[in-house]
Structures are given as structure tokens and as C-alpha cells.
Amino acid sequence: MPSAEPSSQMWIVRLKYRSTTVMLHADPVSTVDTLKKELLVALKETCPDGMLEGEPLPESHEAFILAQSKDKHDARKGWDRLDPSSIKGLDDEEQIGRKKRRKSSVERYGATPLKETGMRDDPLLAFKWRPNEKTELGDGFDILDESDDEFDVVLPTFDDEMDEGL
């Protein structure tokens, strides 16, 4: 069940993982953290076995790593990770009396409204997640390197050969 009813002010956010596309309605002033929570809820509702394309779903929304398409019209050009340091206007420190305290990336990034990340309506995002700590890693499963900017996204293509049968 969506947390908000869709309206003309809401954005449609497309999130891709391999060949799966999840479409969510999101308020532009909702946070990145809220989007991750909604993504996890949608995946758990549509994947009751807890697996997406052969991979176990994360237990927490905090495991998700998001990236925005470098070119909205051509996702083959790659992905820019939504990184707290790339978002303008985010302070690394906050003043507490006479002392300054360094904010965590979750505080700086998770609480950032979507519109302040540089997104516009109908963004295409890629997602991946860190494996659950309980997950036993088998052959062929690489531990995600958080600094790795590779996102496994399969984009649909139109083949001329398919058109011949019509």
C-alpha cells in the first residue's frame, strides 16, 4: 500500500535492477530514505519468496545503493551514484552549542529531499544492495564494493529481426 495517494504533484520514479523495473510514486519533498523504504516494501510485496532475480532481498532499506542515469534519454551512457558528497547544500557538520559534530552520511543523505538531489520528474534510477550479513556467499556471488559504480541493469532493445515476423 503506498504511503501517499498519487497526485499531479507526485513524480513517477523508475528503479531498475537487472531486467526488473519498479515504478513508484514519490513526492519531490520526500526523502531518499523514504524512497528506499518504499522500494523495499514494493519488492517484498512482489517477491514473497524474498528473492529478486536469484538474489536474496536486503533486510533493511539502508542496504540499498542508488544511482541516477547520466543521460535521462540514454541510460547506456552509465550511472552516477547518488552520493552525499555530490549533493549541493549538504553540510558535513552541525553546530551544537560551541562544538561542531560531524554528520553521518545517513544524516546528510538520507534526509535529503529528492528534488535537492538534482532529480526531476520521471527519473531513471538503478539500484543494488549490500548482501545481508546472514547470507552465505556461494560461487559466483561477489560482495558488493560500495565504491563500485557498476550497476547491473538490462535495458530493452528493439531488434529489426523481431520486426520481420509482423
Q: What would the pLDDT profile of 25-67 be if each residue is shown by its tens digit?
A: 999 999 899 999 999 999 999 999 999 999 999 999 999 999 9
b/e for 25-51, b at 16 or more Cβ within 10 A? bbbeebbbbbbbbbbbeebeeeeeeee
3 state SS of 56 = strand
- Residue 61 CA to residue 111 CA, distance in Å, equals 14
- Residue 159 CA to residue 26 CA, distance in Å, equals 33
pLDDT of residue 110: 56
pLDDT of residue 64: 95
> Domains in the chain, ordered, with CATH?
11-163 (3.10.20.90)
pLDDT of residue 82: 83
Query: Is residue 70 a contact partner of residue 78, using CB atoms and an 8 Å limit?
Result: yes
In the numeric block, which cell numbers belong to residue 71? Answer: 543521460
Work out the number of other CB atoms within 10 angstroms of the CB of residue 161: 6
Spacing of C-alpha 108 from chain mean position: 16
Which residue ranges of the chain lie beneath pLDDT 50?
1, 85, 88-95, 104-106, 108, 135-144
b/e for 81-116, b at 16 or more Cβ within 10 A? ebebeeeeebeeeeeeeeeeeebeeebbbbebebee
Global confidence as pTM: 0.73
